[in-house]
Amino acid sequence: MKPFLRRFARNPGAVIGLVLFVIVVVLALGASFFYPNSPWTMAGKPMQLPFANPRFPMGTDMLGRDVLSGLVHGARVSLMVGLAAASAALVFGVLLGAVAGYAGGWVDDVLMSVTEFFQTIPQLVMAVLVVAILSPTLPSVVAAIALVSWPPVARLVRTEFLSLREREFVQAAVVIGQSPARIVLTQILPNAMSPIIVMGSFMLATAILTEAALSFLGLGDRNYMSWGSMIGAARSVIRQSWWLSIGPGLAILLTVLAINLVGEGLNDALNPHLRKRGE
């Protein structure tokens, strides 16, 4: 564990990204503490400039709602949807990729054909269709993002399993009579976790972007404040009230950038080739 932390700490970008991500997580978890009132509540005079009123550091929107309160509460929704969707896609992709990579043959051909079919459809288009069919709620948004996110994971896991199943320790497990399920769970999957963890971090960033895009298009859950919906609501007054779009836009940018920096740091720390080169 200590060598991993040392390798991670050698990457200054990864450390900065981790700090930024922790700040976002703290704000999201403490949203109700920092701003106990609903972000939909009218808090003051509409269209106040940032820093013009100490009560509203980021100003107010067209209806007099506190922009900073919306940003903090929006962080909770973005992270919740991103984590749920990325986790669901990761589990399904790992399961399908593991079966395809270990079984091989016609099972591999069928599962990879299904994967390729999903990859031929643009992700955002499919997500929009799914949410439009299911109705715009948080569960449907999570399901839509997970549905379009799992194919890259499945292909990655399949490639790792195809390589690892030919290794000596796996063949030895087969010879001594271990069941396929036990071989997959105890021999192959632990050795494939490094690229899966890195892929998961990048999937989280993509899920947050996709949720913001859906909310911007009016397909998010309107009972919850989100960064995408804030930008979508402010686009009609962007010339007069630029700060209403800049705030949530910067929040999305910094959060996604932080997650990508952490992902690159994890890749440097977990990649065995980079590890040997560094040591």
Residue 274: pLDDT band by 50, 70, 90 thresholds? very low
245: domain CATH number is: 1.10.3720.10
Q: Identify which of 194, 137, 184 has the alpha carbon closest to the alpha carbon of residue 161.
A: 184
Which residues, in sequence order, are CB contacts of 40 under 8 Å at separation 6+?
65, 225
Structural domains counted in the chain: 1
pTM over 0.85: yes
The residues that bridge with 56 in the sheet, in sequence order, are 53
**Burial state string for 171-191 with b = 16 or more CB within 10 A and e = fewer than 16:** eebeeeeeeeeebbeebbbee
pLDDT score of 277 more than 70: no
State whether the Cα torsion 162-166-170-175 is positive or negative: positive
Residue 119 pLDDT more than 80? yes
Mean pLDDT (whole number) for 191-218: 90
Contact in structure between 57 and 9 (CB atoms under 8 Å):
no
Tens digits of per-residue pLDDT, 28-75?
A: 999 889 988 888 888 888 888 888 888 888 888 888 889 999 999 999
For the stretch 91-105, pLDDT in tens is 999 999 999 988 888
Taking each helix axis from N to C end, the angle separating 2-9 and 243-270, rounded to the nearest 10 degrees, works out to: 130
pLDDT score at 279: 45
pLDDT in tens, 149-193: 999 999 999 999 888 888 888 888 888 888 888 888 888 888 888
Buried b (16+ CB within 10 A) or exposed e, 113-123: eebeeeeeeeb
Residue predicted with more confidence, 18 or 8: 18
Dihedral angle, C-alpha 237, 239, 241, 247, nearest 10 °:
100
- Whole-angstrom distance, CA of residue 94 vs CA of residue 82: 18
Helical packing angle, 193-216 and 123-134, nearest 10° = 60
pLDDT at residue 21 in the model: 94
pLDDT of res. 1? 66
For 11, the domain range is 2-278
pLDDT band at 278 (very low <50, low <70, confident <90, very high): very low
